[in-house]
Amino acid sequence: MLDILLLRKDLDTAIARLETRKKPQAFLNVEAFQALESERKTLQTRTEELQAQRNQLSKQIGMLMGKGDKDGAEAAKAQVAASKVELEQSAARLEQIQAELQAMLVAVPNLPHESVPVGSDESGNVEVRRWGTPATFSFEVKDHVDVGTPLGLDFDMGVKLSGSRFTVMKGQIARLHRALSQFMLDVQTQEHGYTECYVPYAVNADSLKGTGQLPKFEGDLFAAKKGGQDGEPVPDNAALYLIPTSEVPLTNFVRDVVVAEADLPIKLTAHTPCFRSEAGSYGRDTRGMIRQHQFDKVEMVQIVHPDKSYEALEEMTRHAEAVLQKLGLPYRVMSLCTGDMGFGAAKTYDLEVWLPAQNTYREISSVSNCEAFQARRLQARFKNAQGKNELLHTLNGSGLAVGRTLVAVLENYQQADGSVVVPEVLRPYLGGVSVLAPAA
């Protein structure tokens, strides 16, 4: 959530920065905001006047009573009583205005950092660097569906059990998928200093509000239906949602917490399934595993001092790149433009891996600095050197999306006979197996 003081001090500049994302009307009703702010200022000024008047009258009452002027004292008391009524009415209206302003603010995205390229959509993204050279093949390249199906990918069973955009893995493919997640966790914990966590896969609404998925993006979530005791309905505030990413529970570790500055940075990682309804994405990537309702991800989260967050962004991007480099998968790093960034991000790098069957790069990791946007919702703070509470900065990134990494391994390491060479770094996780081959 944005700092409302930014909008109060320089609304025009804030709107100009929001316009580089999308039109502000999509997020903020400027006229309604200005009207509420004008009323708030008037009420606050009147409230301060009434409080000062009441204080003055209270002193006068004492003085009048001391002089024996009962009539004057009673008149002053009547004025105090009248101002009390108006003060209570003003306080109630101010509380209502604050609630309306908060409701407006939760729908407004983060302001892009000044270094973010300006653009309306993904065509405005800027390539930062690339690593590796895509392999050339002496045979007709297959996509991951055709390579993986003989090895244990079962899309029909996924449809049978759950519906479209679900996949079953069996045998060699299931083992390779598990090996990838274990390898990623080992890299992030043993080489990059993250603490491995096991977190709930269903979270409450407060957790999703804290990281920005609610209320605006409820349509992208899967709600977990709970049964009440003895047939009683479950209260709305008891609803749970399946996590869209473990960024949600990990970042909420610091909700309503004041962290000691000496404990920063906090670096957390978790391997979890992720659940997304993919609202608005129907018709896109319907073949295979690129866009699933359920997929696994190894997530990285850093909670840092505000002065260190852009340094942390570069570091986390390198941490994700390290996994791709160890797997020998060609990729490029893209700086997302203002029109392609996520709701809570101030700056984002996407890592895109080379997929031979598509003859293009596809996203496999997204690393974002949210600055204080999530921390303000979470009330996640630290005690600074002056002893004052200050908002933290939060960052998150994929290290990596496991399913898409599986896709990239199948396509980049495929052989003419239908087998797949196992990247060397994964072989210890597969008991030394170096090649996955279809059953004879």
CA distance 261 to 382: 6
> Residues in the chain, how many?
440
Do residues 301 and 394 touch, judged by C-beta distance below 8 A?
yes
138 labeled part of a ligand binding site: no
Q: What sign results for the dihedral spanned by CA atoms 92, 97, 98, 103?
A: positive
- Residue 15 phi, psi dihedral angles, 5° rounding: -65, -40
Supply the residues annotated as catalytic: 276, 291, 363, 366, 404
The residue type of 208 is L
278 labeled part of a ligand binding site: yes
Q: Which residue in this structure is represented by tokens 């052989």?
A: 415
299 labeled part of a ligand binding site: yes
Structure tokens at 205: 């609404």
Q: In whole angstroms, how large is the CA radius of gyration of the chain? A: 28
321 labeled part of a ligand binding site: no
| Number of helical (H) and strand (E) elements in the chain, helices listed first | 12, 18
CA distance 166 to 276: 11
95 labeled part of a ligand binding site: no
38 labeled part of a ligand binding site: no
125 labeled part of a ligand binding site: no
207 labeled part of a ligand binding site: no
281 labeled part of a ligand binding site: no
Query: How many CA atoms lie within 13 Å of 182's alpha carbon, on the beta-carbon side?
Result: 12
Do residues 382 and 258 touch, judged by C-beta distance below 8 A?
yes
20 labeled part of a ligand binding site: no
277 labeled part of a ligand binding site: yes
Binding residue positions for L-serine = 245-247, 276, 299, 396, 398
- Annotated binding residues for ATP, written as ranges, equal 276-278, 363-366
Q: Name the binding residues.
A: 245-247, 276-278, 299, 363-366, 396, 398
